[in-house]
Amino acid sequence: MIIGIKDGMKLVGISIMACCAVFVCTLFMNYNMDLVSIEEQMTSPQMMIMYDALVSMGKVVSGVSGGCLLITSGIMLVFYIKNYIDTHKKELGILKALGYSNFKIAKNFWVFAISVLIGTGLGFGGAWLIMSKFYEEQNADKMLPEFEAAFHLELVIGLMLIPTIAFGVLAILYACVQLKQPTIDLLKEKRQYGKSRIKGNGKKSQRTKRAVGADREEKDVPFLKEMQKATIRSRKSLLFFVVFGAFCFSSMMQMSAGMNEIASEMMAMMIFIIGAVLACVTLVLAVTTVVKGNTKSVSMMRVFGYTFEDCKKAVLDGYRPWAYLGFVIGSGYQYGLIKMVVEIVFKDIENVPDYEFDVQIFMIVLIVFVILYEAMMFWYSNRMKKISVKEVMME
């Protein structure tokens, strides 16, 4: 089959996300479950307050990080599959032409769930490695009775098996939907250009009405500008991924930096590291996908004698404003999310400081983002420069 186990393992991004999500959730949920089981041992009011605070914190942290990461990895999976189908249209078209049914082909997409299994497995194992340390840390000032971590099978099922199966099913279903397009379109590697053409047709009839003058106007737009527009328009999924990558970077970095207000120092540190890793992974993935997705066009332009700088401008620079847009949306989103969760969980507890938008963190994260984004674009596009025209034509 054309989709091998190897393809499934390539989704390192999803593995890392799943790993982080499960790591954090296992720690906090395991702790919460054990804590709840000793509720009757809370004798004094102070203990009860401590108890409530710890339970709430566990809920916030596993809710925010688990939920956020789950959605993120779901979106990422869908994007991967779409991208996979987009870049393997010919092979898939041949299979369909040979008589394979959509479902028969889509079935093979279950391998994409392997990355989830690997990730969740690593996360779960990793959590257990530091579990006892974590329990000590949670009860550092010895206000609660000591208790040992117990193993909960529900967590294995809920955090490893169910996500893996769910992602496998999601992969198959989504592949089914994507494969619905006619075989001939797959064979001809037709992308979404068809759609933009329908709009184009509408414009065309207007254009004839507006007569030749308008046509001449349009011709004066330099080719490189046209190329930039067309590149963005023709692969919306890539555009989406760039926005999404910037969105994740912005929200995760700021969210984890903001966590130190509600979580303990060690926790805040850990969450920040996880957030930073994830943020960088999504951003790297987004940038590499963009560069890879446009290699062919760039090579053809270079054969014709466009300089590499021209090609980069035409093909890659169009994504920049969108990346920054993603960053801004991400900032708003993380603020809203944390504020909401904090309000819901702590609604009965007094003295919880109002959660406010942190301009300082925003500025720092923005600067890091700009540097990282530009450096990565520069680095990857320089790698693209080294690909010979022949290699591209050999495909």
Which residues lie near other proteins (CB under 8 A)?
188-191, 193-194, 197, 200-201, 204, 219, 222-224, 226-227, 230-231, 233-235, 297, 300-308, 388-390, 393
Q: Is the dihedral of CA 303, 84, 75, 117 positive or negative?
A: negative
Q: Given the complex with other proteins, which of 150 and 198 has the nearer CB atom?
A: 198
For the bound state, the minimum distance from the C-beta of residue 184 to other proteins, rounded and expressed in Å, comes to 10
For the bound state, the minimum distance from the C-beta of residue 381 to other proteins, rounded and expressed in Å, comes to 14
* Nearest residue to 26 via CA among 74, 51, 61: 61
What's the CA gap between 32 and 35, in Å, rounded?
A: 5
Q: Given the complex with other proteins, which of 62 and 228 has the nearer CB atom?
A: 228
Q: Given the complex with other proteins, which of 171 and 227 has the nearer CB atom?
A: 227
Q: Given the complex with other proteins, which of 191 and 313 has the nearer CB atom?
A: 191
**Any idea what the Cα angle at residue 247 is, between residues 296 and 232, rounded to 5°?**
30
365 contact partners, CB below 8 Å, separation of at least 6: 249, 250, 253, 254, 257
Sequence letter at residue 34: D
**Residue 256: how many CB atoms within 10 A of its CB?**
27
**Exposure pattern of 327-342 as b/e (b: 16+ CB <10 Å)?**
bebbbebbbebbeebb
Q: Given the complex with other proteins, which of 46 and 192 has the nearer CB atom?
A: 192
For the bound state, the minimum distance from the C-beta of residue 204 to other proteins, rounded and expressed in Å, comes to 6
**Residue 392: how many CB atoms within 10 A of its CB?**
16
Q: Rounded to an integer, what is the distance from CA 233 to the centroid of its chain?
A: 21
For the bound state, the minimum distance from the C-beta of residue 244 to other proteins, rounded and expressed in Å, comes to 21
For the bound state, the minimum distance from the C-beta of residue 181 to other proteins, rounded and expressed in Å, comes to 13
* Nearest residue to 235 via CA among 89, 83, 373, 81: 83
Q: Given the complex with other proteins, which of 82 and 302 has the nearer CB atom?
A: 302
For the bound state, the minimum distance from the C-beta of residue 200 to other proteins, rounded and expressed in Å, comes to 6
